[in-house]
């Protein structure tokens, strides 16, 4: 029984040719803009139901913590949660339906095709330091999710639904600086999630990447795993508050 428990605790494992068991690296979780937007809508609904207390001073304190903590280019902007969520949903639907197709090369009449054998082969310049379009889109999505989740935390902690944190013109364009921003955002989110969770009778434990068996995905993979731990805590809080709202409705 103890041996079985040990295997389950260590997670997926693959025996090697020498009989040594290796632990399979943890893959980054799948996160989406639509999911975090739904959580913002849920939090807004619970504020309107009266089960999340409104505290402008708390909201300002947390918002200022994000703005003043070295997150470059972050700003505060007014928000209409319903209209914002609708625009996000429409944008995600459009992106999901759009699949760009490569255009064929133009045909020029009278132009002879070069003989492949006589055409010198020119080596393409190396772009190992340049992120692929897929990697850039991945970072774009995670960036939106992590920043929007900061607004979810502010709403859960203070009931603030009047403004939101957003990317300003000074938000960095270079990949390393963008990852720095996300890591800083997560550190602040984890600090305040501990308090929000405690206020709701939940214990929140931030994700800590194991040094002996780190997961896949590099820095961005760690960011996604840290976010997933925050997401799970928020889901538990929203579920508890939703039950409280239903109980209040039933007693009226």
Residue 4 resides in a domain? no
Domains contained in the chain, number? 1
Residue 9 resides in a domain? no
CB 72 within 8 A of CB 182: no
CB 234 within 8 A of CB 156: yes
Residue 115 resides in a domain? no
Return the residue matching tokens 């708390």: 58
Report pLDDT for 115: 55
Taking CB atoms within 8 Å and a gap of at least 24, the contacts of 78-85 are: 78/162, 78/163, 78/164, 79/151, 79/161, 79/162, 79/163, 79/164, 81/40, 81/41, 81/44, 81/161, 82/41, 82/44, 84/37, 84/40, 84/164, 85/37, 85/38, 85/40, 85/41
Q: What are phi and psi of 78, to 5 degrees?
A: -60, 155
pLDDT digit string, tens, across residues 218-252 = 999 999 999 999 999 999 999 999 999 999 888 86
pLDDT digit string, tens, across residues 147-195 = 999 999 999 999 998 889 999 999 999 999 999 999 999 999 999 999 9
Residue 67 resides in a domain? yes
Residue 114 resides in a domain? no
Residue 230 resides in a domain? yes
Tokens encoding 128: 């190992």
Residue 205 resides in a domain? yes
Quick one: pLDDT band at residue 31, thresholds 50, 70, 90? confident
81 pLDDT more than 90:
no
Residue 135 resides in a domain? yes
CA distance to 15, 25, 142, 218, per residue, from 18 (Å): 8, 19, 39, 28
Report pLDDT for 121: 53
Element of type H or E holding 163: strand 163-167
Answer yes or no: pTM beyond 0.75.
no
Q: Which domain holds residue 174?
A: 25-93+131-247
CB 40 within 8 A of CB 155: yes
pLDDT digit string, tens, across residues 92-141 = 543 443 344 444 444 445 555 555 555 555 444 444 456 788 899 999 99
> What's the rounded Cα separation, in Å, for the pair 66 and 13?
39
Average pLDDT, the chain: 80
Element of type H or E holding 74: strand 74-78
């Amino acid at each position: 029984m103890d041996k079985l428990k040990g295997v389950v605790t260590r997670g997926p494992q693959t025996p090697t040719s020498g009989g040594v068991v290796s632990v399979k690296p943890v893959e980054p979780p799948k996160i989406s803009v639509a999911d975090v937007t739904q959580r913002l809508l849920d939090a807004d609904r619970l504020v309107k139901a009266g089960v999340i207390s409104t505290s402008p001073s708390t909201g300002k304190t947390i918002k200022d913590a994000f703005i003043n903590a070295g997150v470059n280019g972050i700003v505060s902007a007014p928000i209409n949660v319903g209209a914002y969520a609708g625009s996000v949903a429409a944008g995600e639907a459009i992106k999901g339906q759009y699949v760009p197709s490569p255009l064929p090369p133009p045909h020029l009449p009278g132009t002879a095709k070069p003989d492949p054998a006589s055409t010198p082969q020119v080596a393409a310049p190396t772009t190992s330091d340049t992120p692929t379009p897929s990697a850039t889109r991945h970072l774009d999505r995670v960036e939106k999710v992590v920043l929007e989740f900061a607004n979810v935390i502010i709403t859960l902690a203070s009931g603030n639904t009047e403004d939101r944190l957003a990317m300003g013109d000074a938000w960095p364009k270079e990949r390393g600086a963008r990852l720095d921003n996300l890591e800083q955002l997560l550190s602040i989110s984890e600090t305040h999630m501990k308090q929000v969770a405690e206020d709701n009778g939940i214990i929140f434990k931030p994700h800590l990447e194991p040094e002996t068996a780190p997961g896949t995905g590099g820095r961005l993979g760690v960011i996604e795993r840290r976010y997933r731990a925050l997401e799970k805590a928020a889901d538990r809080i929203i579920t508890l508050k939703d039950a409280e709202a239903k109980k209040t409705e039933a007693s009226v």
